[in-house]
Each structure stands twice: as C-alpha cells, then as structure tokens.
C-alpha cells in the first residue's frame, strides 16, 4: 500500500486546529508526538466503561480493567520482543524508568567502580547517575562526542575496563537526531562484564526495536513519544537483572506479605509497580503501538527519511544556516542555528506563524557547551507531517531572518 499521509492526518484531531490565526504546523515531535483518535478513544472508553482499580478486586469492572492492562503489557512485550511479559515494567515515563535502575544499583555499586555515560545524553540520563555516584563512591566517566555529532568510539574502547559496571547511552540523540551504534556499545560493554541501559525515548517512534537482538540489559522509553499518552512509559530489563535489584519504592501492589516485623516483595513485574498505576495510560500505550504497527515502522521510517532529506536541502539554501550532525545517520530531526540570530527569537516568530519548533538546549546542555552555543532551533518531523509544511517553515524562516537581521 502507498503511504497516504493525508489519510493518516485525518486520525489526528489536533492537526486541524489553528494557532495564532494560522493552520498548525507541528514540528516538535521529539518532545511529544501527537495522539491519534484510536488512542484518544481507548482512554475515553476506559473511563466510560471500565474505570476500576486493577489486580485487587473480584468484581467485574476490576477484572476487566486488569485484563485490559495486562493485555497492554503483552502488546508492549511483543512489540519490543522481550522474552517474558514480566520483563516489562510500566512506569510514569523514561525518567522514572532510569531512576528505578539508578536507585537499585545504589545498593550494589562499590567505591572504585566505574560507570560510563555519553556526552550526548538528555539530562535525565545524566543526573541520576551523578546522584548514584555520589551515594556509592563510584566514578562517572564520560564517553566524548565528536564534532560531526557522533560518539567517539575509539575513546569508548579506552574507557572500558574491569572496573566498568554500567554504561548509559541514548539510542538516538534528542538534541541532534544522531543514531548511536548501540549494538556495538552493548557488545563491547558485555566483553568487560558491564551492563548497559539504553535510553530509547527518541528511537522508538522511528524504529522497531528488538531488545533481544540488541542484547540490551535495560531499555527505556515513554509512550508519549510513540503517539501514546503522557505519564506512562516502559522499563524493559532482563529478568535476572531485575530480580537482582531491590524495589524502587514501597507501597501497595509490590508486596507478597507485610507484617510489622518483615515485608516480602512480589515477583516481577509487580515488585517495581507500587501503588495504583496509570491504568488508562497503560491501556492507551498498547493502543498506540497497535496504531503505529498498523501503518508499519518500516514505512514510517522511509517516509520520515524523505522528509528529513527534503528539509535539509531546503534549509541549506538559507543564508547563515548551520545544521548540526548533518552528515551522519540520524532520524528526522534538524537541529540548526542561523548566524547572528538567537534560537529563542527565531522560534517566537515561527510560533506567530503557527509553526511549533523547540528552541534551547533541549535538556542536553553538555552538547551545547561542546559546540559553544546557547542552544539550537530543533524541527523534528513525524510520519503525519508533510513537505508542504516544511515549505511553510522555510518561508517563515526567511521572514524571521529579514525581521531580525
């Protein structure tokens, strides 16, 4: 079947609204993807017909909610090719998933142990590991990046040693769109006995990720990056690693037995899912995966690559443009600056014309420090965007240059 972007756009109600009197052009997909009607319907249906707490009731609504929630977990397991459904921990998002692992390793790492984090990370994949090192006395080592927007893999090989316990790296850079060689990063880490957590928040909207093929120890992402709702995400972990870690937080649902003398914890996945979860969000996460799979991740990737090529060629015609990580493997993200213009000022003018882009350091300040810039303008595309929308952005950028120079 041909990729029918106009038909797809009909599934997204928000794409038909106006901003500042202009038809919306939404190019902030790396921050949050928009939500299609089938996912919205799944949320409305849950609250309209099923709303009840899960795992705790003998009544019909509780059982129906439990079945729907656990069916969503199985959809996520299948999508990411985890071995077992209990290797999928449902969290509030990528950040909580990362903090869950950081909290667990606080009782395992020892002074003198080393952990490696890349220079290309989102703050949520830096700060928890800094906190972990402060608690344990482990040392944080930084895998540097290169001028072209890729990681320095020669430096990585030099950093790895027998003291390396953990490696943290994103699958795709949220600030640049660079696709990192995570399979190689994982295999090299395993060769020295280290475990690896991959931040997949920016990869999962664009690729069908197979955690078994990657041999990832831990893989995390957020539903709202993949056309799902905010406030729900996934922590995948190999069962043997998850069983080794203590619970992230205590409460209901994650226990087997509680007395005032001792508490024993439930088995996976419930050990890491204390309290009432975002039930509607979990069910809608499954619906979002159903939706993108109905289109096909390969078809999505091919179409988005055509948008990236078209936008790159168009922007290169503008005066004073610098595109970061331009000539490397990347997803449909353009992070750029215009000589003499502040990103915030450009983004503000684009907003007045109905065009949503992200400006600033994108929660990846070390990248901006590396390039010695205050931030970038980031246009991030999704499979429901069009070349006509890119043309509108280019014309708006021309107006911004005229107005600000």
CB 136 within 8 A of CB 111: yes
Q: Could you confirm whether 133 is annotated as catalytic?
A: no
Tokens found for residue 17: 């609204």
φ, ψ of residue 233 in degrees (nearest 5)? -160, -170
Handedness of CA 207, 223, 364, 334 (dihedral sign): positive
Tokens found for residue 247: 């619970």
247-251-252-253 Cα dihedral, nearest 10 degrees: -10
Catalytic-role residue among 100, 133, 227, 363? 363
Q: Which residues are catalytic?
A: 363
């Amino acid at each position: 079947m041909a990729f029918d972007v106009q038909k797809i756009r009909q599934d997204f109600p928000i794409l038909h609204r106006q901003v500042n009197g202009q038809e919306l052009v939404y190019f902030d997909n790396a921050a949050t993807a928009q939500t299609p009607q089938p996912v919205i319907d799944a949320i409305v249906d849950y609250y309209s017909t099923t709303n009840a707490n899960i795992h705790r009731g003998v009544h019909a609504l509780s059982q129906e909610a439990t079945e729907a929630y656990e069916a969503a977990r199985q959809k996520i397991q299948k999508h990411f090719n985890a071995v077992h459904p209990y290797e999928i921990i449902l969290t509030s998002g990528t950040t909580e998933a990362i903090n869950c692992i950081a909290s667990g390793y606080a009782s395992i790492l020892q002074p003198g142990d080393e952990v490696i984090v890349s220079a290309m990370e989102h703050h949520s994949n830096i700060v928890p590991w800094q906190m972990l090192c402060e608690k344990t006395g482990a040392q944080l080592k930084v895998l540097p990046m290169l001028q072209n927007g890729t990681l320095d893999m020669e430096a990585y090989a030099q950093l790895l040693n027998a003291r390396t316990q953990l490696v943290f790296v994103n699958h795709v850079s949220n600030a640049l769109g660079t696709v990192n060689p995570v399979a190689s990063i994982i295999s090299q880490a395993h060769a020295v006995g280290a475990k690896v957590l991959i931040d997949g928040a920016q990869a999962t909207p664009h690729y069908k990720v197979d955690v078994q093929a990657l041999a990832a120890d831990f893989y995390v992402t957020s539903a709202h990056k993949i056309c799902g709702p905010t406030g729900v995400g996934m922590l995948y972990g190999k069962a043997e690693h998850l069983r080794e870690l203590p619970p992230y937080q205590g409460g209901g649902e994650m226990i087997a037995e509680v007395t005032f003398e001792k508490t024993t914890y439930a088995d996976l996945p419930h050990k890491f899912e204390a309290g009432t979860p975002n039930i509607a969000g979990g069910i809608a996460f499954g619906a979002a995966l159903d939706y993108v799979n109905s289109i096909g991740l390969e078809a999505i990737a091919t179409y988005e690559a055509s948008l990236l090529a078209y936008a790159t060629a168009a922007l290169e015609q503008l005066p004073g443009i610098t595109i970061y990580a331009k000539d490397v493997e990347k997803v449909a993200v353009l992070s750029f600056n215009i000589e003499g213009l502040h990103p915030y000022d450009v983004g503000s003018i684009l907003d007045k014309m109905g065009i949503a882009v992200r400006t600033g350091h994108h929660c990846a300040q070390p990248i901006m420090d590396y390039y010695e810039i205050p931030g970038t303008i980031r246009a991030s595309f999704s499979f429901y965007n069009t070349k006509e929308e890119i043309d509108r952005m280019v014309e708006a950028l021309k107006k911004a240059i005229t107005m600000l120079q």
